[in-house]
Chains A and B, each alone.
Chain A
Amino acid sequence: MDFNLSEDQRLLKDEIIRFAKAELSPGARERDELHQFPREQWDKCGEMGLQGLVVPPEYGGSGLDALSAATALEALGYGCDDGGLVFAICAHLLACVVPIWKHGTEAQKQRYLPDLSKGRLIAVNAMTEPAGGSDAFAMSTRAVADGDHFVVNGAKTFSSNGPVADLAVLYANTNPDKAYLGGVTAFLVERDTPGFIKGQTFHKMGLRSCAIGELVFEDARVPRSAVLGAVGGGGPIFAQSMEWERVCLVAAHVGTMQRLLEQAVDYARTRKVFGKRIGEFQAVSHAIADMKVRLEASRLLVYHAASRLSSGRTVGMDASITKLFVSEALVKSAMDTVQILGGYGFMTEYGVERTLRDAVGGTIYSGTSQMQRNIIAGWLGL
């Protein structure tokens, strides 16, 4: 399997890195402190086509295959210091745009994909419920058929992009006798739908520039034309979107790990104590060597899983292995970088502590590390 990047992939990566460093990273620390969603930077990403990387050009996207998209997101994770913005783009693209591209009707694709791909519309995946969490399909949000509409009642929480979203990819139970297969239906719910209410916006440990909040549905009437896929077919649509998210979101982590490694190496080669550069002490050099090993292993996992996504096959176990390993590797490498930079790593000015706080979220969203282990064990027949 050859993972050498093509000329086009290299050029795209270079372009995204230049763009991210110049246009996205400035002000990241202030936005983190203010819990501020960077709409201006989001719009610039839209002009670059980042929110529609995998969407076919006829719907306004960049038309990349999954592996090329993963390398593009790797570049974004490397060049962009604003982890919340990177997460917001990935949540929008992978958990919302992908399922619409894969399962939308022609009318739905024409209506939404061009604006979603250019960032003119922001989407939220409305799945997690207050009592659900890891047990995602034990949902209480109900959609009851009523003529040409469904009437939706329920609440969703921890919804990434929720407070700023124009469109929700909502999962609701349409058959209480069933669950994953046949019980859940996906809907596309527009912001101004009566009964669709934005709840509180949460303050968070990390990823602060991504707005995350509650969504409430009170007798919200959603037309049948807003069903994504088939009635009762929402479970596999959600599962597929999670495969994309688990693989491609952590592609951005690979870029972030590359950035951390370079920061750690630079510091270790210049900072002197006891008359020696700290990189000459094995306690430091071995930690950095382990960071390099984690980076390269993570990159291979992402590229391999992403290449399988493009084949259209079910990649559930690969996605869980990739997500589990890379998200935990990023936390470890971020922690090591803080430690190597010492007091500077602990100060907000250098951004490493922010990267560490952002990294912790990666072991929770898209299924916790514990759930990924459960899934992997399940694929092994345990």
Chain B
Amino acid sequence: MSNDQIKTTIREFIVKEFLPGEDPEDLDASVRLVSDGILTSLASLRLVAFLEERFGVTLEAHEVDADHLDNIDDITALVAERSR
């Protein structure tokens, strides 16, 4: 799966689950998911569970932080790196 496909899949999940009604195209890399409060504690767990299930990766608890999850590009890079 290409990085663009990963990014699209992640974007669609976040919009569908945490920003219902929003246009997925509005969720670009400038939106800070953690810092802006889109990813709450439960939302971040749900996102990680989705990533693990959908992409077959495993994330450690210490990787669930703002450095890895704060925007779409960072999440995509984490999944792509872990999928290799």
Determine if B62 and A314 form an interchain contact, defined as CB atoms under 8 angstroms apart: no
Q: Which of B4-12, B22-30, B33-41, B71-79 contacts A (4 or more CB under 8 A)?
A: B33-41
Per the 8 Å Cβ criterion, residues 213-251 of A in contact with B are 229-230, 232-233, 235-237, 239-240
Which B residues lie within 8 Å of A312 (CB)? Answer: 58
Contact for A313 among B34, B40, B58, CB less than 8 A: B58
* B66 to A, closest residue via Cβ: A182
Per the 8 Å Cβ criterion, residues 346-382 of A in contact with B are 375, 378-379, 381
For the complex with contacts A181-B34, A181-B69, A311-B58, 18 further pairs of A-B residues with Cβ separation under 8 Å are A102-B61, A103-B61, A137-B41, A180-B41, A180-B44, A181-B39, A232-B65, A235-B64, A312-B58, A313-B49, A313-B52, A313-B53, A314-B45, A314-B49, A316-B42, A316-B45, A375-B42, A378-B42
Chain B: number of interface residues, binned into ranges: 20 to 34
**Any B CB within 8 A of the CB of A179:** yes
Interface residues in chain A, defined as those with a beta carbon under 8 Å from any beta carbon in chain B:
102-103, 137, 178-182, 229-230, 232-233, 235-237, 239-240, 311-317, 375, 378-379, 381
Which A residues lie within 8 Å of B59 (CB)? Answer: 314
A-B CB pair tally, cutoff 8 Å: 68
Contact for A237 among B45, B48, B49, B61, CB less than 8 A: B61
* A184 to B, closest residue via Cβ: B41
With the chains together, A109 CA to B61 CA distance in Å?
17
Contact for A379 among B34, B40, B46, B62, CB less than 8 A: B46
With the chains together, A78 CA to B62 CA distance in Å?
35
Which A residues lie within 8 Å of B40 (CB)? Answer: 180
* A315 to B, closest residue via Cβ: B49
Which B residues lie within 8 Å of A229 (CB)? Answer: 61-62
The 8 closest A-B pairs by CB, nearest first: A180-B41, A236-B64, A236-B61, A314-B49, A240-B61, A378-B42, A182-B66, A316-B45
Which A residues lie within 8 Å of B34 (CB)? Answer: 178, 181-182
With the chains together, A237 CA to B59 CA distance in Å?
12
15 contacts between A and B (CB under 8 A): A103-B61, A179-B41, A181-B34, A232-B66, A233-B64, A233-B65, A235-B41, A236-B44, A239-B45, A239-B61, A313-B52, A313-B58, A316-B42, A316-B49, A378-B46
* B44 to A, closest residue via Cβ: A181
Shortest Cβ distance from residue A40 to the other chain B in the assembled complex, whole angstroms: 35
Which B residues lie within 8 Å of A103 (CB)? Answer: 61-62
